[in-house]
Amino acid sequence: MRIVLTGGGTGGHIYPAVAVGKHMLQNDPDTKLLYIGTGKGMESKVVPEQGIPFEAIEITGFRRKLSFENVKTVIRFLKGAQRSKSLLREFKPDVVIGTGGYVCGPVVYAAAKLGIPTFIHEQNAIPGLTNQFLSRYADHVGVSFPESTSQFPRAKETSFTGNPCASHVLRAVPGRGLQSLGLAPSTRLALVVGGSRGARALNEAIIEMAPMLNHIGDAQIVFVTGEIYYESTKSRIAEEAPEALKKLTLVPYLHNMAEVLKDAALVVSRSGASSLAEITALGLPSILIPSPNVTNNHQEANARSLVSAGAAELLLEKDLSGAALLRLMEELLGDTVRMKAMSSSTTKLAVPDSANRIAAALMQMESKRR
């Protein structure tokens, strides 16, 4: 099968597309992949590192208020659609898969106009604008939350697939995450991560928390700062609380996130859909700190779906402080009964066969075309 993948802007859109592509390759080594993204987006770096051929188009997102920039965006959309048509005619895909972000718009739209079967995947509980727009053109919409199916009334076909990142993380080998960080196999690991780009508020909270880390017990905290915050966070902690670096491992980014998650006892995280898919797949207790700076506040909606099931604790960014985060981490790490109960509840929300569900939908679309 020849597959075009598209999605960009954040890791939450990129990694599900990569996970589907790699799953299809694993099932059939003759699968041919092409990823279409933007030249300036995160995908332009991540995708080639995964060994997937990459092509770029120029496109920007719409602004939510009246602006002359939106006129320019329409022009870029039309040019992007034309460029996409050229790439699609050259590659001749059997199916095009879009996972969200504004770059999906012209690519999936172009594919639909060329009569190429299209599949879009929505990761969040509240759908993004691009996927809502594309749902009227796509042949199939896959969603990560069962309640989201009703939010695509114009779609030809909708199904609950879960998030393919769940399938990907299950293949990680236990022990390799700790080894990659230079930690002993017996280490009790608490992983703190602020999303693929990091989060300023979380960095500030960890800096505030650093002098108090002697209260955290036997846990080792690994904090993924985000590349732009790494140097400043490391230098401030080294200056203000150097002893904390015995309990706190700082890294700018984790290329082997699945392996480190596999070895974690507790996760503190934003509540992007891909992160939650990985957390539920592994049955990890978590403290979720939704980003308030996302469309329709969808991360809080994502988080509350876990909290209501007893699978996670919620800490809103407006309530975030070093003391508040430390107190919650101490409570959970010191209560094994509670942690086991959260893990059990988390596992019940998992969709471990998500990639298989998407693969089945793609095969069905291809057979209909024939």
Do 60 and 88 belong together in one domain?
A: yes
Do 237 and 255 reside in the same domain of the chain? yes
Is the domain of 185 the same as that of 320?
yes
CA angle 292, 293, 297 (to 5 degrees): 55
Residues placed in the known binding site for UDP-N-acetyl-alpha-D-glucosamine? 10-12, 124, 196, 299
pLDDT at residue 198, rounded to an integer:
85
Q: What is the pLDDT of residue 63?
A: 54
In a domain, 265, yes or no: yes
Distance separating alpha carbons of residues 159 and 148, to the nearest angstrom: 9
- Residue recorded with tokens 């509840």: 345
Question: Is residue 249 one of the residues assigned to a domain?
Answer: yes
C-alpha span between 25 and 32 (Å, rounded): 8
The verdict on 282 and 360 lying in the same domain is: no
Same domain for 212 and 305? yes
Q: What pLDDT is attached to residue 148?
A: 85
Note whether residue 35 is domain-resident: yes
361 and 337, same domain (yes or no): no
Q: Is residue 63 part of a domain?
A: yes
DSSP 62: P
Q: Are residues 340 and 359 in the same domain?
A: no
- Asked if 91 contacts 34 with a C-beta cutoff of 8 angstroms, the reply is yes
Same domain, 135 and 258: no
pLDDT given for residue 125 in this prediction: 80
Q: Which residues of 156-182 are buried (b: 16+ CB within 10 A; e: fewer)?
A: eebeebbbbbbbbbbebeeeebbeebe
Q: Are residues 233 and 274 in the same domain?
A: yes
Answer yes or no: is 171 within a domain.
no
Residues 356, 343, single domain; the answer is no
Taking the chain (370 residues) in consecutive chunks of 10 residues, what is each chunk's mean pLDDT?
A: 92 90 93 95 92 89 55 80 96 96 93 96 86 92 88 91 86 94 94 88 96 86 95 95 92 92 96 90 96 86 92 97 96 95 94 90 80
The residue segments making up the domain with residue 331 are 176-348
What is the number of domains present in the chain?
2
CATH number of residue 233's parent domain? 3.40.50.2000
Domain-embedded: residue 169: no
Tell me: do 363 and 271 sit in the same domain: no
Domain annotation covers residue 170: no
CA pair distance 264, 99, nearest whole angstrom = 28
φ, ψ at 2 (rounded to 5°): -105, 120
Q: Are residues 334 and 217 in the same domain?
A: yes
Q: Which parts are annotated binding residues?
A: 10-12, 124, 196, 299
CA 195 from centre of chain: 8
